[in-house]
Structure formats: structure tokens, C-alpha cells
Amino acid sequence: MDVKEKALELERELIPRLVEWGTEIDEFFRRFRELRLITNDLSFQGAILNVEHAFFMVVQSMNILRENLKLLEVAAKKKEID
């Protein structure tokens, strides 16, 4: 198996997992957000807000990864990858 085929195989394996992980991350984000909204402790709200922001950053990174995987697929089809 050549490098292009292996890269595309990994890409096809990873994309469904990214969707699955994204769904799980979204559920955890939602649960933390609910906790932030029901607490009256302002400093703790700030701590939870930081956790929410970290979840946002993870999702952004996953989106960047997904876009780069699509570019990898395009490059492999155009024979731009050696």
C-alpha cells in the first residue's frame, strides 16, 4: 500500500470518529453550561466558563483537523502528495 492510499484510509477512519467525539464533547459542554447557569457562586461560574471556553477551543481544533483532512484527500487525488 502506498503512502497516498494509507493516508486516505486513515482519513476515512478518522472522519466518523471526529463526528462521534464532537457529539460527546457537545454533550459535556452542555452539561457544564447547565451547571454554570444554576450556580450563584460567581467565582465558580468563572471557572466553569473557562472550561466551556476550553471545549470551544477543542471543537475549533477538530474543525481545523477536519478541513485539513479534506485538503489531504484533494491533494492525494490530484497527485500532489509524494
Domain definitions of the chain by residue range: 3-77
Give percent of the chain above pLDDT 70: 94
> What pLDDT is recorded for position 81?
52
Show the DSSP H helices in the chain as ranges: 3-38, 42-77
Place of cell 467525539: 21
Q: Which residues of the chain have pLDDT under 70?
A: 1, 79-82
pTM, two decimal places? 0.79
Distance CA 33, CA 12 (A): 32
Q: What is the mean pLDDT of the chain?
A: 92
> What pLDDT is recorded for position 18?
94
